[in-house]
């Protein structure tokens, strides 16, 4: 027998197809382990890479549909287990491994995907505090993105009804787990944000496994939250659960109920704040009145007032009356404020608290200005009256007469004021008081009604 005489001559394509059939039939679907290198994602969506160990390497391909189902990103240096089948690329005669699934060695696929996306978005700045928006203090309309049949929406509505029943709620019903849930959640956020009249958005669901919560770890949801102009609260799971949405949102709530408590204040808390505001205004007014009283006391005890204390007693009494009148005005104003506060507290269920507080502040400022004007007008009137009285006192003073050129003569040594020339004889000594200083004189002669009498 001639070994070199062929029984059958294979074409290249025929031999390749036979090898392909043998390999695929012998191995079937298997797991293979190795380290990824030369990983590339083609524009078609296919992923090509090499799986290697210390001695060999194997070409791997994940076709588009299988690549899209991978939960984590394939990266060079990552140790993975790949499930798939041996195949032959007939055109080149190369055998390759067609991957259907992949799991990272020593790491859950979802957990690895979570860490990879968290690192990526963190490096882009999506978690930065500088982009966090504050929640509105008194929201009028709250948007919610969650399942319409889940426990989360029931918990949120229960808290809102208990804390502030007049707030308006707008629900965007969405899947919260499974196929398409992430896209629906992202769309709900975009729709509510585009309305323009929603004050705050809550996006969330109840607790569950990492797989159950995965929709809130998808990149599409994270970017929708980051792009949202409306303040948004992430309320996913129980207190120990964290998602990518929690890191991007403006505020993270441990539970849906806690999210509802964050976005609305209790009616009682709002009413208590109004009471504190009213007390603060009252204390300010009392301090102002005390300051005015102190200034009045200083004025009364001054040198100018002591010179004319007897004449100013009646003004002091009038000032006391003014103080009592001011206290009465204060009391009436406080009573009016109390009435206004009670009225506003009753209207809190239907009126916006922020507008109500602004209205009360304007009323209080107007009352304070009116009170200050009355006090200043009264003080100005009293100061003018005191000035007139001081002028009268000054005009009646003997010293003022001397300043006009007159003098006073005293008989020495008795110091009796000389009002008649008959009181003096020639040779007497007298003292003449001038506006400034005095003169000591001897009388040489006296005159009576124009007649000179010689001494």
Mean pLDDT of the chain: 82
Per-residue pLDDT, 270: 60
Q: Is residue 218 part of a domain?
A: yes
* Beta-bridge partner residues of 98: 61, 85
- pLDDT score, position 251: 92
Q: Are residues 128 and 217 in the same domain?
A: yes
Sheet holding 438-442, edge to edge: 416-417, 408-411, 429-433, 438-442
The per-residue pLDDT for range 371-420, each reduced to its tens digit, is 888 888 888 888 888 888 877 777 666 767 777 777 888 888 888 888 88
Instruction: Answer whether residue 90 is part of any domain.
Output: yes
Verify that 122 and 257 share a domain, yes or no: yes
Q: Which domain holds residue 57?
A: 12-107
Give the total number of structural domains in the chain.
Answer: 4
pLDDT of amino acid 1: 45
pLDDT of the chain, 455 residues: tens digit per residue: 455 566 777 777 777 787 777 777 777 788 888 888 888 888 888 999 888 888 888 888 999 888 888 887 888 777 888 898 888 777 777 888 888 888 887 666 677 778 888 888 988 999 898 999 999 888 889 999 999 998 899 989 998 888 877 789 999 999 998 889 999 999 999 999 999 999 999 999 988 777 788 899 889 999 999 999 999 999 987 666 688 899 999 999 988 988 988 888 755 566 666 667 777 887 888 888 888 877 877 776 765 555 555 555 666 677 777 778 888 888 888 888 888 877 777 766 565 666 667 777 888 888 888 888 888 888 888 888 888 887 777 766 676 777 777 788 888 888 888 888 888 888 888 888 887 888 889 888 888 765 555 45
Residues 206 and 135 in one domain: yes
Nearest-angstrom CA–CA distance, 238 and 446: 120
On whether both 232 and 360 belong to a single domain, the answer is: no
The answer to whether residue 206 is domain-embedded is: yes
| Domain-terminating residue out of 61, 86, 107 | 107
Q: Are residues 413 and 380 in the same domain?
A: no
pLDDT at 141: 93
Judgement on whether residues 253 and 286 belong to the same structural domain of the protein: no
167/97 same-domain check: no
Sheet holding 232-236, edge to edge: 168-173, 141-146, 200-205, 232-236, 251-253
Question: Residue 246's closest CA among 238, 257, 235?
Answer: 235
3-state secondary structure of 180: coil
Name which of 143, 155, 134, 231 is nearest 187 in CA terms. 143
Q: Does residue 4 lie in a domain region?
A: no
Cβ atoms of 424 and 430 within 8 Å: the answer is yes
Contacts of 158 by beta carbon, 8 Å cutoff, 6+ apart? 257
Instruction: Judge whether 2 lies within some domain.
Output: no
Domain end residue (candidates: 235, 263, 291): 263
Q: Is 138 left (phi over 0), alpha (psi -120 to 50) or beta?
A: beta
In a domain, 419, yes or no: yes
Q: In terms of domains, do 145 and 174 share one?
A: yes
427 in a domain, yes or no?
A: yes
> In 10 A of CB 183, how many CB atoms?
16
Contact 170, 153 (CB under 8 A): no
Is there a single domain that holds both residue 233 and residue 134? yes
- Domain end, chosen from 107, 142, 169, is at 107
Which DSSP symbol is given to 421?
G
Write the CATH number for 30. 2.40.50.140
Q: Are residues 125 and 55 in the same domain?
A: no
421 plus 378 within the same structural domain: no
Is 129 domain-assigned?
yes
Domain match, 417 and 386 both = no
């Amino acid at each position: 027998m001639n070994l070199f005489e062929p029984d059958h001559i294979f074409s290249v394509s025929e031999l390749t197809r036979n090898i392909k059939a043998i390999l695929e039939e012998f191995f079937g679907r298997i797991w293979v382990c190795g380290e990824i290198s030369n990983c590339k994602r083609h524009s078609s969506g296919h992923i090509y890479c090499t799986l290697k160990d210390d001695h060999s390497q194997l070409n791997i391909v994940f076709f588009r549909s299988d690549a899209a189902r991978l939960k984590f990103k394939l990266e060079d240096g990552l140790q993975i287990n790949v499930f798939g089948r041996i195949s032959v690329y007939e055109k080149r005669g190369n055998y390759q491994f067609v991957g259907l699934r992949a799991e990272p060695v020593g790491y859950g696929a979802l957990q690895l995907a979570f860490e990879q996306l968290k690192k990526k978005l963190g490096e882009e700045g999506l978690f930065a505090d500088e982009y966090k928006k504050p929640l509105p203090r008194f929201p009028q309309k709250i948007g919610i993105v969650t399942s319409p049949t889940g426990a989360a929406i029931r918990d949120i509505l229960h808290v809102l009804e208990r804390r502030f029943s007049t707030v308006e709620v707008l629900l965007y019903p969405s899947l919260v787990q499974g196929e398409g849930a992430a896209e629906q959640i992202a769309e709900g956020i975009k729709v509510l944000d585009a309305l323009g009249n929603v004050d705050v958005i809550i996006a969330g669901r109840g607790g569950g496994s990492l797989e159950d919560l995965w929709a809130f770890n998808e990149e599409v949801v994270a970017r929708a939250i980051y792009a949202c102009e409306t303040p948004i609260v992430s309320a996913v799971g129980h207190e120990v659960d964290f998602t990518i949405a929690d890191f991007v949102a403006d505020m993270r709530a441990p539970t849906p109920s806690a999210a509802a408590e964050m976005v609305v204040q209790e009616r009682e808390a709002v009413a208590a704040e109004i009471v504190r505001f009213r007390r603060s205004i009252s204390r300010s007014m009392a301090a102002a009145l005390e300051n005015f009283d102190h200034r009045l006391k200083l004025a009364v005890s001054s040198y100018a007032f002591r010179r004319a204390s007897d004449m100013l007693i009646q003004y002091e009494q009038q000032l006391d009356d003014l103080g009592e009148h001011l206290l009465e005005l204060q009391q009436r104003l406080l009573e009016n404020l109390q009435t206004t506060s009670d009225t506003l507290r009753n209207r809190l269920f239907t009126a916006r608290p922020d507008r109500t507080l602004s209205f009360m502040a304007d009323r209080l400022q107007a009352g304070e200005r009116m009170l200050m004007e009355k006090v200043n007008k009264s003080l100005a009137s009293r100061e003018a009256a005191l000035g007139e009285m001081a002028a009268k006192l000054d005009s009646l003073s003997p010293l003022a007469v001397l300043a006009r050129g007159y003098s006073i003569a005293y008989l020495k040594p008795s110091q009796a004021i000389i009002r008649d020339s008959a009181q003096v004889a020639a040779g007497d000594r007298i003292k003449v008081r001038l506006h400034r200083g005095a003169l000591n004189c001897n009388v040489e002669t006296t005159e009576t009604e124009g007649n000179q009498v010689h001494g």
